[in-house]
Structure 1
Amino acid sequence: MTDTARRMFGLLEPICLVTFHADETNEELAALGHRTYWDGYFASRAAPLGRVPAEVVHAAFYSFADGEVARHIPSAWETIPPEASLAARQRGSAASVRRILGDRMAESAGLVRAADLTTKAATSAPTEGRVMYAGMRTLPVPSEPVARLWHSATMLREHRGDGHIAVLVGARIGGTEAHVLSALEMGVHPPESFGRIHHLPKERLAAVMNGLRERGLVDADGRFTDAGRETKQRIEALTDDLAAPPFEALSPTELDELITELEPITARLVAAGSK
């Protein structure tokens, strides 16, 4: 099922990315009173966990540098209930998907079937050790098909993310280190210029790079060593393995049907840049 998990990630990820790249979600969150993109991001994504401290959100999200979460949590919840931010995120995301797909595709029987099968997979995996996924599982599944497709795709994204974090912890790769390895895999050089980390203090980035050099994962020029490339490949392969259980709930026929129905939906979203 490893290949299946990788294939499904490619098909479902563009459905989730509208949340971060399209305008509707940010507009919904701004209308609530969130002052910045990141206030809305942390308040709405962390909302399924409840009113937990910044330290818990930092641990669950994993990839943010020390102190970044605390700039937004819990202050983003002080005047706006987490439930309101969560609802705004869902409304905006579904509106983005609907706009990009157009009424004909958004209201098609194929999308309804894709939503049903995605939901079956997303509600079938064990929650143990999956903090973000477990939080999403406590939420009601929307009845409207486009919202249901986005919600269930996002559940699967959080399930995969929880597994990915477990693999990174096992490999002793921290959140910033993980961004460096991803940047190198994408051909970004120097990796410190990667958009997710370029804003961090230079001394922090230098310490991360030095640590990776000491472990033999990057060379003096800040590029992959063979060991570094192998480590990244091993992390991604194990992440795929851990992301497979939800799809075991689908029969081979259902899985083929889901792939067939998702392909044109994903193609439309990718063509639009998910925005």
Structure 2
Amino acid sequence: MGATVAITPRKARRCYNAHHPFHAGYYFAPEHDDTYAELGLARGAMAYFAGRSSPFGAVGSGVVTAAFYNFHPDLVAPHLPRAWKIASPEAVLEARPRITDAYLRRLLGREALSSPEMAESATLALRAAEACRRPGRPLYSANADLPVPDAPHLALWHATTLLRERRGDGHAIALSEADLDGLEALVSHTATGTNWRPAYLQSTRGWSPEEWAAAQDRLRERGLLDAQGALTDQGAELRRAIEADTDRLDLAPYEHLGAAGTRRLTELTGAFSKVVLAGGGMPLKEIGKR
């Protein structure tokens, strides 16, 4: 499992897709908003922005808008820095492992959390994260300052958070290089046929239908969308290039883990994620229907 072992972008992405639901279920769990509401934070956007940005400290909306990339600034601004007057970043950070423990315990069960497979998964994911570097990766770097929890399931969530935020940071680099702003990134992404539907992204990212249509017009002017809002050949090629760049920028952790370790991490976390998804850990039907 040395750093010199080559691994393909496809296998690295497959591993990321396997462990991502294990991390992402945190944001959709009822325990998320319930716990932050106990701190006085409003459910929904305020809880999300405060929880995800808490590793930065008491930052304002500008930092979060830049780092999160595709949220409307006017959606972020009412909540940050206001949230920090209600609950300190330290209090929010202290709540994150409690939320994680509660939702994983509910969806996976006590036996899975204490299993050898969970401990092995945490060891592998933390080893992969050893290869992550900080420059140009603000969300990863902020989370990397946090201590690794002792409990294996919390350590795995921490490690998958590092890997997720690092990939997201790299994706933002690729989108910026492609000269797509946050809204144009969403519009062109949904045009690829993804399950993420425009109405859902408009409501959760704060963009109006009029702003969405204006972004479509800008992409048409660049020759990336056709009159019906579908990707042109040029647009499809740009999106392929963005995903290839994202994969390239995300290779290091999996190269460090090596082919065998990556395959094992994919197998183990894929099994946990399957249970998370089966238990409604991510609202896939809602994402696709709205």
Same fold (TM over 0.5): yes
| 2:39 paired with 1:32 | yes
- Residue of structure 2 aligned with 1:57, choices 40, 54, 64: 64
Q: 2:237, 2:258 → 1: CA distance?
A: 33
Deviation at 1:203, TM superposition (A): 3.3
* Matching of residues 120-269 of structure 1 within 5 Å: 120-186=127-193, 193-198=198-203, 200-269=207-276
Contact preservation (8 Å) 2:107, 2:279: yes
Q: Write the letter of the residue equivalent to 1:61.
A: F
Q: What does residue 74 of structure 1 align with?
A: 81
Q: Write the letter of the residue equivalent to 2:200.
A: G
Q: Write the letter of the residue equivalent to 2:179.
A: R
Contact preservation (8 Å) 1:133, 1:162: yes
Deviation at 1:130, TM superposition (A): 0.4
Q: 1:139, 1:14 → 2: CA distance?
A: 21
Report how many residues are paired: 273
Q: Which deviations, in whole Å up to 9, do the C-alpha atoms of 1:92-139 show, x marking residues without a partner?
A: 123212221112212110111001111111233111110110001000
Q: 2:83, 2:156 → 1: CA distance?
A: 27
- Residue of structure 1 aligned with 2:53, choices 46, 50, 65: 46
Contact preservation (8 Å) 2:128, 2:253: yes
Q: Write the letter of the residue equivalent to 2:202.
A: I
Deviation at 1:153, TM superposition (A): 0.5
Contact preservation (8 Å) 2:58, 2:88: no
Q: 1:201, 1:240 → 2: CA distance?
A: 31
Q: 2:213, 2:272 → 1: CA distance?
A: 42
- Change in Cα spacing, 1:253 to 1:201, as seen in structure 2 (3 Å) is closer
Structure with higher RCO (Cα < 8 A, 6+ apart): 2
Deviation at 1:188, TM superposition (A): 6.9
Deviation at 1:159, TM superposition (A): 0.1
- Change in Cα spacing, 1:181 to 1:90, as seen in structure 2 (3 Å) is farther
Contact preservation (8 Å) 2:113, 2:153: yes
Q: 1:260, 1:65 → 2: CA distance?
A: 37
- Change in Cα spacing, 1:187 to 1:35, as seen in structure 2 (3 Å) is closer
Q: 1:78, 1:65 → 2: CA distance?
A: 22
Q: Write the letter of the residue equivalent to 1:145.
A: P
- TM-score (norm. length: structure 2): 0.89
Contact preservation (8 Å) 1:47, 1:82: yes
Contact preservation (8 Å) 1:44, 1:89: yes
Listed as ranges, the gaps of 5+ residues in structure 1 are none
Deviation at 1:39, TM superposition (A): 0.9
Percent identity between matched residues is: 37
Q: 2:92, 2:263 → 1: CA distance?
A: 35
SS at match of 1:249: helix
Listed as ranges, the gaps of 5+ residues in structure 2 are 1-7, 283-290
- Residue of structure 1 aligned with 2:98, choices 87, 91, 100: 91
Q: What does residue 119 of structure 2 align with?
A: 112
Deviation at 1:52, TM superposition (A): 1.9
Q: 1:230, 1:77 → 2: CA distance?
A: 42
Higher mean displacement: 224-233 or 195-204: 195-204
Deviation at 1:227, TM superposition (A): 1.2
RMSD (Å), alpha carbons: 1.8
Higher mean displacement: 200-209 or 131-140: 200-209
Structure 1 stretches of 4+ with a deviation exceeding 4 A read: none
- TM-score (norm. length: structure 1): 0.93
